[in-house]
Amino acid sequence: MPTIQFNGIDYPCNSGESVLDALTRQGVMVPFSCRNGICQTCMMKSAEGNIPAAAQKGLKSTLQAQNYFLACACHPVENMAVSLPAEPNRLLPATVTAIRPLNADIVCVGLDCPELTYYRPGQFINLYRDSHFSRSYSIASVPADGYLRLHVRRLPNGRMSNWIHNELALGDNLHISSPIGSCFYLPDKSGQPLLLIGTGSGLAPLMGILRDALSQNHAGQIYLYHGSRDKAGLYLVDELRELEAAHGNFHYIPCVSDGTESEEYKAGRSLDVAMSAHRDLSGWRVYVCGNPEMVKTARKKAYLARAAMSDIYADAFVAAAPPIGNAMSEKQTAGKIP
């Protein structure tokens, strides 16, 4: 049984257990959010560099070279000495500048963060209620807005999402991480057709990607399919219709899975409607954001429709695992989860 040394104390790690689970099980407070190797909140550093390769997957090469790893994805086979990143300025102060409902379950939160000088629309940030309680939210804004926009969906037992919906107020101060993620627009092929597919608050990163592409005069055709169970779950419909009217290459197709087709929306799941309309995706770039099963299926269907794997970008909104020990977890990721 390997041991994990943290702050001078040795902690046993059970066979097959991750560093994150072993430490939180024994009462060690380690920041984390998604537990799926996506948000990078649980990043730690090894003193000796004996890190399983899977624990560094997705990290920049510069971080890998400095022995950083993701605690949730690290299953040690030998003793490790670890520490939290020595980055006192890793968290950025932000102020709440706007809170407005988008539909019955989703609010748009505006954040002013003067220290955040650069981000790519469609990336996500970790929002901290306190030093150990964070959730990941996709960025729906573009830098020209001057402030961040997040779409937060209320979950029945969501501690962060209910706090945001019920208690967060204009002028409140909190902290966020630097932007994370690779699901964003790339201007290298401006004539490439783009297919955007989302469900629920998965519209957030797609909205950022869409606006970024249009602001950079993307010349290829852009199709956005956004799905909801019923009409009430759709949102930003007017804004998207306005963008469609202003840009001849942009096409917005709202979809409702429980309902009959009308002039306002297509009947069916957004993925099914999109794939039925676009059977050959060779040469396309595809962005998919929403619930994990939809994202998983969409990646497969896009590939079978001849989209290159390197041109498929996806953010799954994974429901968080129950808390372990006295740590807390609940994520809306990039994608993104409340």
What size, in residues, is the chain? 338
User: Closest Cα partner for 311 from 289, 336, 288?
Assistant: 288
Mean pLDDT estimate for the chain? 89
pTM beyond 0.85: the answer is no
Please indicate, yes or no, if residue 218 is contained in any of the structural domains: yes
Task: Mark whether 159 and 203 lie in a shared domain.
Answer: no
CATH number of the domain bearing residue 19: 3.10.20.30
The pLDDT > 90 percentage for the chain reads 67
Per-residue pLDDT at 179: 85
Please indicate, yes or no, if residue 325 is contained in any of the structural domains: no
Do residues 220 and 311 make contact, with C-beta atoms less than 8 angstroms apart?
Answer: no
CATH number of the domain bearing residue 288: 3.40.50.80
Task: Mark whether 199 and 298 lie in a shared domain.
Answer: yes
Please indicate, yes or no, if residue 183 is contained in any of the structural domains: no
Q: What is the mean pLDDT of residues 278-294?
A: 94
pLDDT digit string, tens, across residues 153-196: 999 888 999 999 999 999 999 999 988 877 889 888 999 999 99
The pLDDT > 70 percentage for the chain reads 91
The sheet with strand 3-6 has its strands ordered as: 9-12, 3-6, 80-83, 43-46, 68-70
Q: What is the mean pLDDT of residues 1-9?
A: 94
Task: Mark whether 200 and 301 lie in a shared domain.
Answer: yes
Q: How far apart are CA 316 and CA 74, in angstroms?
A: 21
Q: How far apart are CA 338 and CA 336, in angstroms?
A: 7
SS3 call for 6: strand
Q: Inform me whether the pLDDT recorded for 149 exceeds 80.
A: yes
Per-residue pLDDT at 55: 96
Task: Mark whether 253 and 305 lie in a shared domain.
Answer: yes
State the total domains in the chain: 3
Q: Which of 148, 176, 204 is the last residue of a domain?
A: 176
Please indicate, yes or no, if residue 186 is contained in any of the structural domains: no
Q: Inform me whether the pLDDT recorded for 199 exceeds 70.
A: yes
Q: Inform me whether the pLDDT recorded for 332 exceeds 60.
A: no
DSSP 322: P
Task: Mark whether 41 and 101 lie in a shared domain.
Answer: no
What does R_g of the chain's alpha carbons equal in angstroms?
Answer: 20
Domain span including residue 207: 194-316
β-partners of residue 149 are: 110
Q: Is the dihedral of CA 217, 218, 222, 225 positive or negative?
A: negative
Q: Inform me whether the pLDDT recorded for 62 exceeds 80.
A: no
Task: Mark whether 215 and 254 lie in a shared domain.
Answer: yes
In this structure, what token pair is assigned to residue 126?
A: 């970790």
Please indicate, yes or no, if residue 138 is contained in any of the structural domains: yes
Per-residue pLDDT at 42: 92
Please indicate, yes or no, if residue 326 is contained in any of the structural domains: no
Task: Mark whether 221 and 280 lie in a shared domain.
Answer: yes
Task: Mark whether 77 and 107 lie in a shared domain.
Answer: no
Q: What is the mean pLDDT of residues 243-263?
A: 93
pLDDT digit string, tens, across residues 311-324: 999 877 655 443 43
